[in-house]
A and B are shown apart, each in its own frame.
Chain A
Amino acid sequence: MTTPLITADLVAVDLVATDRDDATRQLIDLLAAAGRVTDADGFHADVRAREAQMATGMPGGIGLPHARSAHVTVPSLAVGKVPGGVDFGAPDGPATLVFLIAAPDSGDSAHLQILAALARRLVHESFRTSLKDAPDAATVAEIVTREVVPA
């Protein structure tokens, strides 16, 4: 991988959001600023469409908006820590950790393996806890880069 999945500037440690759409948008703006998303509005529409199919909230305070989109240039992850919580439709309450996964529409499978590995890590309680406990953006990015390696 020439481009890492995540860097420190794709992490928002103190996100304040009115709702999941707002939280998603703030993370999308990070990706757009980093040049990983070419059209923030277009990508946002794709994520909304996915979210409308089935809410992506998971047990344990996780929100997982994601989409494959033509507006994405490289597989990317943006992470938002939302101390106040934001509802992602999970049965057990609002999410305090939001992962925005952006996948290019035409990505080859080698590219997408990294996202598969990320999704698998997300299931692990220890991984999520370490991210929640991480003190700053650089640590979050460092943990993801270290833990997420394609099988």
Chain B
Amino acid sequence: MKLVAVTSCPTGIAHTYMAAEALEQAGRAAGHEVAVETQGAAGSMPLDPRVIADADGVIYAADLEVKDKDRFAGKPFVDVGVKKAVHDAPGVIAAAVAAVESGVPAPAATGHAAGTGPTGPTTKVDSNAGVGTRVRQWLMTGVSYMIPFVAAGGILIALSFMLAQLAWGDEGVVRVTEVPLDDLMTSFNVVSLQDWAVLLFQTGGVAFGFLVPVLSGFIAYAIADRPGLVPGFVGGSVSVLVGAGFLGGLVTGFLAGFVALWIARWKVPKGVRGVMPVVVIPLLSSFVVGLVMFVIIGRPIASLMDGLSSWLNGLSGSNLVLLGVLLGAMMGFDLGGPINKVAYTFAVTGLATEGLTADATQYKVMAAVMAAGMVAPLAMALATVVRKKLFTHAEQENGKAAWLLGASFISEGAIPFAAADPWRVIVSSVAGSAVTGGIVMAFGSTLRAPHGGIWVLPLIGNPLGFILAIVIGVVVMTAIVVALKSAKPNPLVEAEQAADEQAALVGQTA
């Protein structure tokens, strides 16, 4: 029989190792393979995940909380305490064998371990690093799990827009968003291009719904390990609900991680310890995060949005170029967050005005808002091309998708960059988007559709001016972000490049 064991004791220098040796000896004597992980003062060498996967049963000879107990979830186990293993290792082995034979399984832990391999999702966290570096590592862990959602959701939506233009004609991108979900499910027709467009649009939208929760959840995971996942995801979802966008998700990720970490360090009676990671920590930390987001953060955001909206409405009739600059800056600030939403809603609401002429101000506002919203993802995509060395591998990959997303007016394509390095990316995004917003107004381009990017070019008045404005804004933003990032190199990127060089050297000598 194959057994794994974890030993630990209060001091971590004697019983931990005596128990390990005694269990290994007794196991050999009884004809079993026993692999022991000593969680002692000399640091613990984690068991190989394959050894754990192969094990028939688990022995906890631990007087301290077993680290990463989830690894052993679902296997039969005995929990004996360290002293018993030192004094009567053969008895402990016999008890473990009996437990395996009677097939007493441990309560199944969180189900997500199945899809991600026995060691769980990786993080980019090195616990020896300094505070600044660790904050970046936490952010990058969240960002790296978010990027596939951005790419998948964004490209689905972009494809849907393309198909919609084919299927409906000029107004396709508007029509595709108006088809009720019920129609898609009840009367999907495989030969209808329109239905395919709706399907892609809805699926992409669902994938996009995960952006902020995944970002928040995996930041919290990087900080607090598995106990952080639930409050992190919940916090991210609440952030979306209260309209706080990805900046809110960053807040909830850190909040959830530290609350979970704090609760995990409580000293609790032994009986409660077992249910801490599965029940107590997720429960309490989610509650705290929900309370903070709904009650403390939710209201200021709502009143901020109200205030900005009425202020914008009051501005109507003032200098159009300045209005374009302002709207552009708002679009670029939080990429789908509350400020962005106010500007976008202001523009879309204007479209609904009855009896507009072809060059009405409302159409110009819409054009300025959409052009500005395309700047950030396009500029980040460009930056990853012109200054590849400033970005992590994950960011470079995201840069490729960001071309299509930016062209389709999906500002979220820039979120991974902004989440990983908020102030540099946001500062440059605000500048570039503001420039574009102002220029669109100056050129007098108009737009009659609320979204669609280059796919609604036929609906744009003065399309050349529109595109030129975007190009100028993109160049401005790219220049600023490259300058800012060059001024202070990212230690994570440098570490990756050092590893690459190492790998390249090894490749040459091998």
Chain A residues packing against B (C-beta within 8 Å):
50, 53-54, 56, 58-59, 64, 66-68, 91, 101, 103, 107, 109, 112-113, 115-117, 119-124
Contacts and interface: CB of A to CB of B under 8 A. Distances in A.
A119 B41 contact: no
Query: Which 3 pairs across A and B sit closest by C-beta, in order of nearness?
Result: A119-B17, A112-B42, A120-B21
Given A56-B15, A68-B41, A115-B14, 11 more contacts: A53-B10, A58-B18, A58-B87, A68-B11, A103-B13, A115-B41, A116-B16, A119-B13, A120-B18, A120-B20, A121-B21
Contacts of A112: 13, 40-43
Nearest to A92: B87
Contact of A103 (B15, B25, B41, B86): B41
A68 B87 contact: no
16 contacts: A54-B63, A58-B86, A68-B11, A68-B13, A109-B42, A112-B13, A115-B14, A116-B38, A119-B15, A119-B16, A120-B17, A120-B18, A120-B20, A120-B21, A123-B22, A123-B25
B83 interface: yes
B15 A50 contact: no
B12 interface: yes
Contacts, number: 70
B120 to A, nearest CB: 24
Interface of B: 10-18, 20-22, 25, 38, 40-43, 63, 83, 86-87
B11 A50 contact: yes
Contact of A66 (B14, B25, B40, B86): B14
A120 B20 CA distance: 7
Contacts of B12: 68
B25 to A, nearest CB: 7
Nearest to A111: B42
Contact of A123 (B21, B40, B42): B21
B11 A116 contact: no
B230 to A, nearest CB: 33
Nearest to A91: B87
Contact of A116 (B13, B22, B25, B83): B13
A104 B41 CA distance: 11
A13 B87 CA distance: 26
Contacts of A50: 10-11
B233 to A, nearest CB: 35
Nearest to A115: B13
Contacts of A59: 87
Contact of A119 (B10, B18, B83): B18
A116 B44 CA distance: 11
Given A123-B21, A123-B25, A116 B10 contact: no
